[in-house]
Amino acid sequence: MSNSAEEPSAQPTMSSRELNKSVVYIDRSSNRILDANPAAAHLLKTDQAALLNTDWAELFFNLQSDNPLVQAIQAGVSTHLPPTLVTLRSRAEIAISGFVLPLPYQGRPALKLSLRELMTDQVRELIAKIDGSDTIAVLGVDQLAYGADWTVHSTALLMMDLRSSVLEIVRAQDIVSMPLGASLTIVLRETGSDAALDITKALLSHIRSIPPKHGSIAANACVRIGITQKGKNQSALAALLEANGALSSVQSTSQLERIRVAGVGDTRFIAGNLSYTDGIFGGGQFGKGYTRYLNQLKKLFSETEKPQSRSLRNILFLTLKQNGVLKMAIYRRNSEDNFNLAIAGESTETGQQVIAEAQLPKILLARLAGLTPDQLVDNNFIQVALNSQWVYPIVYEKECIGFLFLQVIESNDLDVARFSLDMEAIRYISREVLRLPGWRTASNTVKAKTRSVANSEPDTTVEQGYVGDNMEGAVDQATFLAKVDMPLAIIGPRGTGKMYVAKVVHQIFGGAPDMLVVIDCREFRNRSEAIVRIASELSEAEGKTLVFKSPHLMKLDAQEKLARQLATRTLAGVSPPQYLPNAKFVALFPDRLEYLHKHAGLSERLASVFAGYPINVPPIRDRKHAVLRWAHKILSQECADRGRRVQGFTPDAEQAMLLHDWHGNISEMRQRIASALDNTHNDWITPIDLGIYGGISIAETYSPSSFLEAAGEQTNDQTEYSPTVLQELDSALGEAVNNVVVGDTAKPLGAWLVDELVLAVRARYPGDLRSAAQFMHTKPRNFDRWMAKIDMRERDRLSSAAWREPRRLLKSWVREASIPSESPQESMQEILMAHLENHSATISVRTRAKIIGVSIPTYQKRYEKYKKKV
């Protein structure tokens, strides 16, 4: 670059090299480049000579007018250039930031443009993990007032605690980056923008308790998130910049103040703004060594690693392998507020080895005599010997539980590369070291953080799957009517616990546990099968309780014959006439009898038989006080079945369960909890694990009305709409198709749908392939042929977050449905095809065939058949 008369002639060599990196001078009148240095030519991927006298805008491809670079140059004022994506003439995308400075150049009005590329090792590693259907969320902290009581080290500690809290709630397949500045990135695998919005709301709710633990300054800070879903033709870098831009936007536009009087604290906030101005791109380039050490620590404590890999010895040896490290020691606090050596080691020419305490530097051993936890807790590090020996406190919950000692090569030469422990690494080790065997028991003065669980000792004295829930009087009513000689109807939506009430009736009636007979009327293929089975059960019913599930689904004459026998108390077709045996007769109905008579085929005579004193079981959403008791009981049972130990539900999960509609009632609750346990290995169940996020907030909690408040409230006689399982499944499949189309992933949803259908039918008829084949309208031998491919696709199905809800609803539909009149396989694929038809304008036939999971000719045949049927 040619020298300018206006610029200083002498500058320090190193500063000159750094400040003049990628510098371009632009003439303000003509927008042409006056000069550029070799670094700028390298950044812009062009020849240095070719830059001169070129219009600066011609260096880029398709540069839009709203691009920050365009706006900054057109403004012509001194400004910071935020992280920006530009496309070069070679079509290569680069992310840049820098400064624009009005500065005369060779006597002409000019702009000095200082640029730096943002593709650091950390960013490069992150974008390599982003796939087509992922959603990127960038979390940032702002409004931090920097000063003597809050420094960049304080921010580093806060961000590591926030990262640990985020890891508690995200799914196992999601990615959480290490913090960079005051930001960190979360990659939500296979998650649409709507679901990502729910998840990030749950995240903010979950982590809100972390900043106040770091003092008043952090308590007044704001945690915000910017999210975006990677587009079809969008690069991972562009998506990351878009999410980072969303974070910057919300940080700069969400301030409530419009007028502010200058105060002494303003400079503290100005200094604090520097930590989050560039978001995830503000961390700078730490070097590969720093990144490698943090990644090795993460891998060491990863859940996927073997438990024995997580040990103090491995932390020691990992650190000793770093460049320039000579000795390291880990001390833990004892019950007398002193420190005992846990392990020590040194690096030699032959490798790393464990050493005794006496082999540590004498200056450290001398300092140990007067070293107390209080001296360490308020310091980020203590220098034991100049430029070569440091003590780093291990702090947890504002208590010093130990410290790390590090000795490196002694040198005053800044060019000698030596390893040093960063605050992020120290915080990471501090949080993870308590999980190691024996550490907590040795540190008696530090109590492990515990969280209370409501009803941690659930009622285990009742029937499997149930708690002490009176069901708004349904249990009391069943207890009384069990002693009355009359048929009983138990009415309630799916999954409310009607069978439990029937078991209460049977118990009060005095029947033995094996004398409860369930007659599932959905399984009858025709009238004769129903009549024969019912006649057989009635003739042998002495001392039993016969429970008829959904008798309105039988043929009309079968219903009439059952009603006649129950009404006259005599057996049909028996000569001479015989009275019915002494038995209890119970029918389970999904809705009011008058509704089923009008709309669902229930005969008037059968309805009148059971209409005496129907027992109504309300949905779980109408008895909020029982939601958490059911949830904790089901969790304890499911954990016992799996041999797992889980602490309980997070407060946000409990709040979300209280606010959830529970259309599937207790059955849905069990399915969600079981699925959560199958898909997470965390100690706490979160709203994300349960798949329910809506309505989570700090203010919203369930508070029942008092008697006087309830008496004054207006009642609404209108029945609340509750979708059927098939309607919910239809909606969930539509959302899954939309996620696949938007993410441009073309996953075989049609094949997955058939897989889940086959597995659900086999679960409904365990060991009975004949009945399973009747339900599927196929031959029994086909199941063995299907299972091989089903097993091959299992991993992809189970790892897809977007498929979790359709899988749950399909299982629920199969469990509750009567034997369909046509192939359920074809019915389900028609639903899927209808949703694909809505996207026919945006996706090709080839893509639609991939989503259905068939070849193009097969898809076209099925499509023609579907169109004729529609």
pLDDT band at 161 (very low <50, low <70, confident <90, very high): confident
- Chain centre distance of CA 4: 56
Q: Is the pLDDT of residue 283 over 90?
A: no
Report angle CA 119, 122, 124 to the nearest 5 degrees: 50
- Residue 547: per-residue pLDDT: 92
Same domain, 232 and 294: no
> Which of these three, 556, 587, 617, is where a domain ends?
617
Task: Write phi, then psi, for 549 (nearest 5 degrees).
Answer: -90, 120
More confidently predicted of 361 and 452: 361
How far from 649 is each of 247, 454, 646, CA to CA, in Å?
30, 9, 9
Within a domain: 657: no
Per cent of the chain over pLDDT 70 is 83
- Residue 548: per-residue pLDDT: 93
Same domain, 394 and 500: no
Same domain, 569 and 600: yes
Q: Is the pLDDT of residue 716 over 60?
A: no
Question: 637 near 673, Cβ under 8 Å?
Answer: no
Task: Tell me the two tokens of residue 740.
Answer: 């696949």
- Chain centre distance of CA 455: 25
Average pLDDT, the chain: 79
Question: 617 near 653, Cβ under 8 Å?
Answer: no
Same domain, 165 and 276: yes
Task: Write phi, then psi, for 331 (nearest 5 degrees).
Answer: -110, 145
Same domain, 330 and 428: yes
Q: Please list, in sequence order, all residues whose beta carbon lies within 8 angstroms of the beta carbon of residue 423, skipping any fewer than 6 positions away.
A: 153, 156, 157, 160, 380
Same domain, 435 and 484: no
Average confidence (pLDDT) over 844-859: 85
Task: Tell me the two tokens of residue 227.
Answer: 């999210």
In sign, the C-alpha dihedral spanning 837, 843, 848, 851 is negative
- Residue 284: per-residue pLDDT: 52
Within a domain: 551: yes
Within a domain: 660: no
pLDDT band at 187 (very low <50, low <70, confident <90, very high): very high
Question: 821 near 770, Cβ under 8 Å?
Answer: no
- Residue 17: per-residue pLDDT: 42
- Residue 6: per-residue pLDDT: 39
Q: Please list, in sequence order, all residues whose beta carbon lies within 8 angstroms of the beta carbon of residue 336, skipping any fewer than 6 positions away.
A: none
pLDDT tens, residue by residue, 244-277: 999 988 888 756 666 777 776 667 777 667 667 7
More confidently predicted of 539 and 435: 539
Number of structural domains (the chain) is: 5
> Which of these three, 617, 635, 650, is where a domain ends?
617
Lowest-pLDDT range, 95-99, 511-515, 708-712? 708-712
> Which of these three, 617, 635, 659, is where a domain ends?
617
Average confidence (pLDDT) over 282-304: 62
Q: Is the pLDDT of residue 500 over 80?
A: yes
- Residue 841: per-residue pLDDT: 73
Question: 379 near 153, Cβ under 8 Å?
Answer: no
Average confidence (pLDDT) over 840-860: 83
Same domain, 89 and 133: no
- Residue 479: per-residue pLDDT: 85
Question: 225 near 243, Cβ under 8 Å?
Answer: no
Within a domain: 759: yes
Q: Which stretch of DSSP H or E encloses residue 332?
A: strand 325-333
Average confidence (pLDDT) over 27-32: 90
Within a domain: 711: no
- Residue 18: per-residue pLDDT: 41
Q: What is the CATH number of the domain that holds 417?
A: 3.30.450
Within a domain: 337: yes
- Residue 255: per-residue pLDDT: 63
Q: What is the CATH number of the domain that holds 21?
A: 3.30.450.20
Q: Which amino acid, 183?
A: S
Average confidence (pLDDT) over 414-424: 64
Task: Tell me the two tokens of residue 388.
Answer: 């070569």
pLDDT tens, residue by residue, 644-666: 888 888 887 888 888 888 888 88
Same domain, 80 and 135: no
Task: Tell me the two tokens of residue 21.
Answer: 């990196």
Same domain, 108 and 192: no
Task: Tell me the two tokens of residue 605.
Answer: 């005579």
Q: For residues 299 and 289, give the distance between their C-alpha atoms in angstroms, rounded to a whole number.
A: 15
Average confidence (pLDDT) over 726-753: 82
Within a domain: 382: yes
Same domain, 133 and 65: no
Within a domain: 459: no
- Residue 137: per-residue pLDDT: 93
Among residues 267, 224, 222, the alpha carbon closest in space to that of 249 is found at 224
180: containing domain: 122-254+265-282
- Residue 237: per-residue pLDDT: 92
Q: What is the CATH number of the domain that holds 149?
A: 3.30.70.270
Same domain, 158 and 270: yes
In sign, the C-alpha dihedral spanning 277, 282, 283, 286 is negative
More confidently predicted of 822 and 625: 822
Question: 551 near 562, Cβ under 8 Å?
Answer: yes
pLDDT band at 3 (very low <50, low <70, confident <90, very high): very low
Per cent of the chain over pLDDT 90 is 10
Same domain, 34 and 110: yes
